[in-house]
Structure 1
């Protein structure tokens, strides 16, 4: 899960780990041919996604007027909490500054720690909740509703949602049919990035299926380079590996059922996905540093070691989302030339695409808080941050031209063109105790599995035990 988000870079705190999972920082990268990214957000389709709806986007990517009406709020103060740091936080503050300029309100950004639900709990217990929080998981939104922290979104916010978002992105912000969240940012988490020179030396090509990926890995290994870099110190990267394999192999219906814990983690479909993952994870020579080394490698380092060392890096490939571009830029490698990318290969009939994101949720209901979230739901806000780079919006009325390079324009078009239905990061849909906490639940179980990929049954049992406890229904 990263959904995302400037920080990518050297993670030293759990909060920075979340930032790595859901976004990126502002750095322009060289264009990659659109054909290099055959991406779609997936699943069952549903409409044209409204890519040309409204008047802020047309086929040529031109932008026209599409403003959200905002009240004057002189003298009003607001606090907005998120786990974002570094450039991501700085860029978001520019969005908040525009809201201040238009309304006269004063908005303070409150840096949060991960898990953000625990951070908010301490703030609420102390009588100082922020007005708005950016929550990284649908599971966290549900938890905030269950705790009676989250407030329903008002008519103006819902008007902006209906105008600017597909039905699928609206629905993922609902709990029991009521709208509580606006997904301000998104991430595509189904990409594998590779060192182009290594592939060239090995005679390897971009694989389209899991079987072809294994063949490619063998070619790379035989050329003298370790195939994969895995940031196993951050357990969220391992959940993302699992989700891509599971979605493609088990299919969307099973994926949805497992995400909601309507089937158990002891189900044969989970066994099959873990067994498939073990085809790579059990090959110690295929992982940079072996399993022990991978478990000591944080996400930023997993990217950096793939694109440093010329044609003899520590690894040839690294899996993760669109936000990998940020760390690639820090190596001096040129995206599209030195560093290239292909969609996560199909394990079953269809290649997977898993998305993540961060949703704005109101904790202190007021005219000002509703106005701020309505602004975040508008193309006005998203366009500001899109121009700064390292950001992807699910808002279908953000013009293509707002994105600063072809990589991001291609990914943004694919996200919008995917229509109303898509598959959201499974661990982000789970209660944070299971799907979003370092050293616990799914993160820890998959770290243990990376170390001992022969223990499929034991891993399933541990996952089910922790899931049942987190969901609280034992089902």
Structure 2
């Protein structure tokens, strides 16, 4: 969150980078489920093997809003079903649109806000508090947070020291996935540095396959590219300063990062479909087109977080065999470690809403979704064995071991008008930069103008 001391603390990213870099070999394991029931207690239930006591909520109805779709939505609904089973409540998932703050505003204006919203930006949590929409977490949810989360993950859900958000979902946004057959045919190897990435890209290109797939239709994927380069090249202190708008987007460090980014985006035929094609490609398609078409897919590599596994699976590719992954390469002194997440925020304070927030802060809820894949939890008490394959198990272990040594997605820390609105602010200007990566100075000026307006000067 923009005012959070934890976010602004100058934490070293090297430890977490080294840990996350090890999360790249695969094997499969499974974790059994516990379906024992204990719902005879009229005041609360705690199932056998459970870590959390929940109240009886027979006849209660709840709505949870999130921008999730596809497999991500379906998997989260299974978590809600578990809550229903344990409490007797009925929970309805409400599909939301980006930006979710605008969606919630229309719901609240109509007198029908959801009970809980899953907010993907710390800036959005702050806005919800400032608008007096968000309700503080109760003592039970706070107790679960204290028991299960590092201080850093607790703090980014706070506004002015008061807890409002449960970070139910986390993401490692410093990964590049690749088509193993394409690399094998080309004789390409996994790069560790930016220069090696450019060499690998040329090797793939020379083999007859376009190196990169970019989901430019969704501006957030482009901000993630920039953030990884900027964090590694400029360093964590500059990253924190730019995230808080303590330095301007016209700073030379931004020029350096955009210049580096243009080495991929501005290279002829390095992006599938060119800039025009990338700007019509959404994130799911950017992943699936990398792993369909046999050994002649539309691209050999795609950058994005651990959650891309869901889309890889939808492409009928096998992780560890058809699809492999390496950490985002080092541009400066150390490899970047950029994280993101989604927080549950209560909008209608009630016993049922507080109970659901408490459940989402427990290992029980996260374990349900962890087993389904394509998901990481910052909850330190979720067993590694709950994750369905070794890559996710190691990523989860690294995420927890990193503690507070991470940097939260920069655009998610920004006011939503700048960092989280389709067709505006950072999303729009990086889409324009993808179209014209020679216009570095103009892009900086536009970014700074919108950032100054959004941050208030």
Shift of 1:43: 2.2
**How far apart, CA to CA, are the structure 2 residues paired with 1:330 and 1:93?**
18
The size of the alignment, in residue pairs, is: 421
Match of 1:180 in 2: 164
Match of 1:130 in 2: 114
Q: Which moved more, 1:144-153 or 1:79-88?
A: 79-88
Match of 2:304 in 1: 320
| Residue pair 1:132, 1:360 contacting (<8 A) in 2 also | yes
Residue 74 (structure 1) aligned with residue 58 (structure 2): yes
Residue 118 (structure 1) aligned with residue 118 (structure 2): no
Classify the secondary structure of the residue corresponding to 2:371: helix
| TM-score relative to the length of structure 1 | 0.85
Q: How does 1:47-126 map to 2 (within 5 A)?
A: 65-126=49-110
Q: How does 1:390-405 map to 2 (within 5 A)?
A: 390-405=374-389
1:43 pairs with one of 5, 10, 13:
13
Match of 1:388 in 2: 372
Q: Which moved more, 1:82-91 or 1:338-347?
A: 82-91
1:310 pairs with one of 272, 291, 294:
294
Residue 233 (structure 1) aligned with residue 203 (structure 2): no
Shift of 1:296: 2.1
Match of 1:332 in 2: 316
**How far apart, CA to CA, are the structure 2 residues paired with 1:206 and 1:348?**
18
Match of 1:213 in 2: 197
| Residue pair 2:306, 2:375 contacting (<8 A) in 1 also | no
Match of 2:6 in 1: none
Residues 98 and 310 (structure 1), Cα distance of their counterparts in 2 relative to 1, 3 Å cut? closer
Residues 227 and 385 (structure 1), Cα distance of their counterparts in 2 relative to 1, 3 Å cut? same
Shift of 1:103: 2.3
Match of 1:416 in 2: 400
| Residue pair 1:184, 1:359 contacting (<8 A) in 2 also | yes
Runs of at least 5 residues in structure 1 that lack an aligned partner in the other structure: 1-40, 50-59
Match of 1:451 in 2: 435
Shift of 1:314: 2.1
| Residue pair 1:44, 1:422 contacting (<8 A) in 2 also | no
Shift of 1:84: 1.9
Residues 297 and 73 (structure 1), Cα distance of their counterparts in 2 relative to 1, 3 Å cut? closer
**How far apart, CA to CA, are the structure 2 residues paired with 1:186 and 1:281?**
27
Residues 465 and 200 (structure 1), Cα distance of their counterparts in 2 relative to 1, 3 Å cut? same
Runs of at least 5 residues in structure 2 that lack an aligned partner in the other structure: 1-10, 20-29, 34-47
1:258 pairs with one of 228, 239, 242:
242
Q: What RMSD, in angstroms, separates the aligned Cα atoms of the two structures?
A: 2.1
**How far apart, CA to CA, are the structure 2 residues paired with 1:42 and 1:402?**
29
**How far apart, CA to CA, are the structure 2 residues paired with 1:135 and 1:391?**
16
1:267 pairs with one of 246, 251, 261:
251
Match of 2:27 in 1: none
Classify the secondary structure of the residue corresponding to 2:269: helix
